[in-house]
Amino acid sequence: MPADPRRTIVVAATPTSNGDLHVGHLAGPYLAGDVYARYLSVSGRPVTYTTCTDDSQSYVLSTARRRGVTPESLCATSATAIGKSLEAMGISVVGLPPIDGRYRDTVLEFVTALHAAGRFRLRTVRLPFATRAGIFLYDGLVSGTCPICLAGSSGGVCEACGHPNNFDELLDPRYSLDPTDPVAYREQTLLVLPMEDYRDRLTAYYKERERLWRPHAAQLIRELLAGPLPDVPVTVPGTWGIPAPFPQTPGQVLYPWIEAMPACMYSTWWSLAQSREAAAATDAHWRAGEEPRLVYFHGFDNVYHWGLVDLVLLMAHGDRYALPVSNVCNEFYELAGEKFSTSRNHLIWGRDLLGTVPRDLVRFYLALTAPEFQRTSFSSAALHGVTTALLVEPWNRLAALAGPPPGVEAGQALPTTQAGRRRAATIVERFRVCYELPTYSLSRAAETIVGQLGRLCEAAERLAATGQRRPARDGRPARDVTAPVGDLLLEVRALLAGAAPILVDVADRATSAGAELRMTGEQPSTVAAFELPELPTLPAADGSGNGRAPAATPAASVHI
């Protein structure tokens, strides 16, 4: 693939700051986006990976009320916890930007420009209203029945079928914090963004890009485009969020989902500012003239928002902004066959798992079982058994066999043959197919590690059995002896480069020890000898393992 000098901006769905991240979150957009960003980086392509907390969501308000804390303090503690979990997992964002004055200014400039351009309309709608609490209900403040699939749903969007519900569309609405509070409907005049105005551009956009989408998400987009497209609320009569700056909607706040695009522009700018690469204007890196490659990673339940609403918000600015190249959508990652649930304590926090299992092994197992095309399930026992058998044991066997032979110093150039170079290039190519769009697949990348690892183990064992690794009589290997060793090391290096976006710590150790890990197809005529670092071993899931019994296995803390 020719080098693409354009910067790729990888965005992982903005986490709501109403708690820490659990393993289901980490296994979804955060790991997938991270591996993609690291792949681009190891391929020599400029990339910025970013996200930021979504503080204005109504879920912050509802969770804060449940816990008896202020939403401001919940945002602060959540942002700290989320930042630590991302770091513990090795997610390569430079950090979470502060939700400060510059953030709010960016959002306000984004929406006031649309308002001034006449993109919004006033519309009087019926909204559910909790009569005792005296508040209008939307998104996380309301629960009811999805009018499309009849599943239980919150307001805004249905997690089960992915369809939106706006205004009074949710059936049997109840106040989520007090289901006994009688709900009535009251009229309110809001500003809305009519999505139907953008049908032609949307249709053309998806015609061009649908092949880049996974089938389930593409199906939902087709379903949504087959019917009338909804009006997206721009303002809501809420108390939490950024006050709407429009004279027609006094006392209202911006609908939280309207913030996502300017939030990501701000987050991109902030991330680049940390390395002094940011432009002066906050939205500069998203402008069409910059030709950024925007790639979003998010869950199926966000297809409507990240796939349609946010796209229309960019389109509403005319040709000012680039449009995303693709949305990579994951399904739900479950625990023991059931959805992760904070309210039922059916979950494993990322911090707890990463406190007991080395993160390379967590990242490998979550990649191997990534919910890319359908729901998959996490199991602590499987993590231990599968990761040990498929990764750690063969990896460490290879590490013991494939290092520099006696008499060869680390860094010494070993010759390679044309056949060895061809095999190494083939390994790189198989990884490249896993990491490039539209064939991007974490689980196939993890399977490729397993497959190549097994093959190279066998090759290393054959080489050891032939005695070619023994030094010649003078203590130094002869040239014809080192060529097979060089070929093996070249292939091991290709495996390591392909595995590096997932196994970040072992790759870092190898790089520090002098291994050059780049995902290029051109393979050199010599390879510098290096030691393949070992992976840490895991205690058995039941604590009966190899002398490093865990204080508590992750499963032990889960109430099912």
Give me the residues that bind Zn ion (CB under 5 A), please.
146, 148-149, 151, 158, 160-161
293-299 and 8-12: which strand pairing? parallel
Q: How far is the CB of 151 from Zn ion (least distance, A)?
A: 5
122 vs 151, beta carbon nearer Zn ion: 151
147 vs 245, beta carbon nearer Zn ion: 147
42 vs 146, beta carbon nearer Zn ion: 146
**Do 41 and 3 form a contact (C-beta atoms < 8 A)?**
no
What ranges in 359-517 are assigned the alpha helix state H?
Answer: 359-368, 380-387, 393-402, 418-435, 442-466, 479-499, 504-512
Burial of 523 (0-12, 13-18, 19+ CB in 10 A): buried
159 vs 436, beta carbon nearer Zn ion: 159
125 vs 160, beta carbon nearer Zn ion: 160
Q: How far is the CB of 145 from Zn ion (least distance, A)?
A: 9
Q: How far is the CB of 157 from Zn ion (least distance, A)?
A: 9
Q: How far is the CB of 51 from Zn ion (least distance, A)?
A: 26
**Phi/psi zone of residue 162: left (φ > 0), alpha (ψ -120 to 50 degrees), beta?**
left
Q: How far is the CB of 303 from Zn ion (least distance, A)?
A: 12
In single-letter form, the type of residue at position 160 comes to: A
CA distances from 251 to 190, 237, 246, 247, 347 (A): 11, 7, 10, 10, 38
Distance spanning both ends of the chain, measured CA to CA = 47
27 vs 308, beta carbon nearer Zn ion: 308
Cα 558 from chain centroid (whole Å)? 24
Q: How far is the CB of 513 from Zn ion (least distance, A)?
A: 52
Could you tell me the strand order of the sheet in which 293-299 lies? 47-50, 8-12, 293-299, 326-330
Give the tokens for residue 142: 């309301």
Q: How far is the CB of 160 from Zn ion (least distance, A)?
A: 5
203 vs 341, beta carbon nearer Zn ion: 341
Give the tokens for residue 410: 């680390």
**Do 174 and 143 form a contact (C-beta atoms < 8 A)?**
yes
158 vs 483, beta carbon nearer Zn ion: 158
1 vs 149, beta carbon nearer Zn ion: 149
Query: What is the per-residue burial (b if ≥16 Cβ within 10 Å, else e) of 34-53?
Result: bbbbbbbbbbebebbbbbbb
Q: How far is the CB of 173 from Zn ion (least distance, A)?
A: 14
Distance CA 482, CA 221 (A): 56
Distance CA 283, CA 52 (A): 15
Distance CA 77, CA 68 (A): 14
Q: How far is the CB of 161 from Zn ion (least distance, A)?
A: 3
